[in-house]
Structure 1
Amino acid sequence: MKKTAKILFILLAFAIILTGCEADISVPGEVGQDIITADEALKMIEKEDVVVVDTQKSGDFEDQHFEGAVNIARNDITTFGPYPNMLADASKVESSLGENGISNQTKVIIYDNNNNMDAARLWWTMLVYGHDTANMKVISGGLNALEEAGAEFVSGDYEAEAVEYKAAEKNEELIATKEEILEQVNNPEDDIVILDVRTADEVSEGVIPGAIHINYVENNKDNGEFYPPSYIQRYYPDNDITPDKEVIMYCQTSIRAAQSFLALHNAGYRDLKLYDGAWIEWSSDSSTPKGMLSGAPAEPSAQDGS
């Protein structure tokens, strides 16, 4: 996939040189398949057999959640060792999904109330363990968008009929290690880029050397919904993150980074990795180099907030 994307990119660049015209950078994957609007979600729920997953903390879920939703919180799919919020092992993920009525063939619609980050993290986790992307959708804007769309909400607990979920072998191609990043820092390759999605205050205290900074909230419009793929396809290339490159992203514990992963995947990017140990692992190791950022992300060349 990576080699094919590079060939497409080279051909496109050559065509631009010959014609002298501007052109959008081609993306290797399907576009707009992972994120849906609240209206689209409600139509799917009405017509199809789906499981709606609320990824709020259990207490917040009990206060308010979409009627009929099950609850899979961050703690149900992560572990706190050796660093916070790292990917849980297959058995824990299997239990969390199966106990909530999710099998390998289940269509799942996911939402949160946290800037799309926890919904994206569950989506990424299921991707790592082999769930078909055609059967996973994240609701853009989460709970607030559902409320705006007229969804019914309830409070209290719920019951779900347990089923069996069998995780596939962990897809290591979606996960970057500290050693991988150290190799990139020491011997940079032009076709690999490191993306830091933390806040300006966080990155002011240090970054992985060579990282490009784009706060994950830049993927969201003011109302909390994701920007459409057309916007992402302009904004990220303007900041040297193009679909022909391998993009390794991280934040403090790589929960927010999963949201950027989803935004890019939805825009057709496919050579993506999450550094799961994230800045906490990197900064806690005195032997790893730390750098400082210069400048701010560029504005998109053509905004499309539709």
Structure 2
Amino acid sequence: MNDERTPLPHGGISGQTGGVHPLVDAPALERLLRRDPPPILLDVRWHLAGPPGAESYRKGHLPGAVFVDLDRDLAGPPGPAGRHPLPEPEAFEAAMRRAGVSGAAQVIVYDDADSTAAARLWWTLRYFGHEQVRVLDGGYHGWVEGGREVTTDVPAPAPGDFVARPGRLPVLDAAGAAALAGDGVLLDARAAERYRGENEPVDPVAGHIPGAVNAPTSGNVGVDGRFLPPELLRERFAKLGATDALDVGAYCGSGVTAAHEILALTIAGVPAALYVGSWSNWVADPSNPVATGEN
């Protein structure tokens, strides 16, 4: 994917990406950074377990990149709405302005490699109305593997003028997710053992939403963390019943890896809604049914 303006595949959500492919690779980003003005770079490295993303950022990041904290900037406080509910528009707007995001600016976001956290930032920016945002395919590791420059210098960006306008991408609540599992296709983006209810390391109840189909996000990328080509992603999702002929949605544990699923579906040309509260919201209501095993 070395074209700086690769169009979406036929049937893709072109209006949701400004007609530009939502991914950019490292060579193309190098060219973009030589332009005036260059794109805004946001580092959103985040680890469910392990060192904080801010620590990785301090040890080295792309020149000019500003760190964005997933827990603080891309989510509201955890609670019944989920472990990573949507942030309030005012809070997200302030965070993006601190990072230098302005209305017409192109934004490139990245994480370590597989775009799990970067996809949440991509989706959140799109949900709040910023169209010119793309994900660095392969992330930080893909950037440094070619010997490209990194730095420990922390930039001080000029404040941006980003205005948060929520509702620009489709979302699901618990009732909508339950309905979609019966009338359309609801993808569960978690690992298979969590879906089956064999292992639940985070939430208090194990299992999945009845009728949901398991589609772990690990299947969206190769061993290098880069997304599979659009035709392979389309084939993968079609085998699971998810095509642009049906209503499709996705959830995970708390709405982070499910955003990765939405990004993969977008690349494949399949519009999809995100259940932001995901499993952590679903199990907060004891009246919601729980399924285990294979669907």
TM tier, shorter chain? 0.7 to 0.9
CA distance in 1, matches of 2:23, 2:293: 31
Cα displacement string for residues 165-216 of structure 1 (whole angstroms, at most 9, x for unaligned residues):
1111333x5210012123345xx22xx2110010122112111011110110
CA distance in 2, matches of 1:292, 1:141: 33
1:54 counterpart residue number: 43
Cα displacement string for residues 106-132 of structure 1 (whole angstroms, at most 9, x for unaligned residues):
100111015211111001001111111
SS state at 2:163 partner: coil
TM-score (normalizing by structure 2): 0.84
Alignment partner for residue 11 of structure 2, among 27, 38, 48? Answer: 27
1:10 counterpart residue number: none
1:273 counterpart residue number: 273
Residues 253, 276 of structure 1: 8 Å contact kept: yes
2:121 counterpart residue number: 122
Equivalent position amino acid for 1:273 in 2: A
SS state at 2:34 partner: helix
CA distance in 2, matches of 1:54, 1:72: 6
SS state at 2:283 partner: helix
Residues 113, 141 of structure 2: 8 Å contact kept: no
SS state at 1:164 partner: coil
Structure 1 residue 152: deviation in Å?
0.8
Equivalent position amino acid for 1:61 in 2: Y
Alignment partner for residue 166 of structure 2, among 163, 166, 169? Answer: 169
Cα displacement string for residues 119-158 of structure 1 (whole angstroms, at most 9, x for unaligned residues):
11001001111111xx111011100000123321112533
CA distance in 1, matches of 2:100, 2:69: 15
CA distance in 1, matches of 2:64, 2:243: 40
Alignment partner for residue 26 of structure 2, among 34, 38, 51? Answer: 38
Cα displacement string for residues 63-102 of structure 1 (whole angstroms, at most 9, x for unaligned residues):
1111111111202121123321111011111111111111
Q: How does 1:64-143 map to 2 (within 5 A)?
A: 64-74=60-70, 75-82=72-79, 83-113=82-112, 115-132=114-131, 135-143=132-140
Flag the 1:154–1:84 CA change in 2: closer, same or farther, 3 A: same
CA distance in 2, matches of 1:138, 1:182: 30
Residues 247, 273 of structure 1: 8 Å contact kept: yes
Flag the 1:32–1:220 CA change in 2: closer, same or farther, 3 A: farther
SS state at 1:154 partner: coil
TM-score (normalizing by structure 1): 0.81
| Aligned-residue identity in percent | 25
Flag the 1:215–1:32 CA change in 2: closer, same or farther, 3 A: farther
Residues 79, 86 of structure 1: 8 Å contact kept: yes
SS state at 1:67 partner: coil
CA distance in 2, matches of 1:64, 1:120: 21
2:177 counterpart residue number: 181
Residues 76, 92 of structure 1: 8 Å contact kept: yes
Pairwise CA RMSD: 1.9
CA distance in 2, matches of 1:114, 1:279: 25
2:254 counterpart residue number: 253
CA distance in 1, matches of 2:12, 2:230: 13
1:302 counterpart residue number: none
Q: How does 1:147-226 map to 2 (within 5 A)?
A: 147-171=144-168, 173-184=169-180, 188-189=182-183, 192-205=184-197, 206-226=207-227
Greater helix percent: which structure?
A: 1
Structure 1 residue 279: deviation in Å?
0.5
Structure 1 portions without partners, runs of 5+: 1-24, 296-306
Larger Rg, first or second structure (1 or 2) = 1
Flag the 1:229–1:48 CA change in 2: closer, same or farther, 3 A: farther
2:245 counterpart residue number: 244
Residues 176, 274 of structure 1: 8 Å contact kept: yes
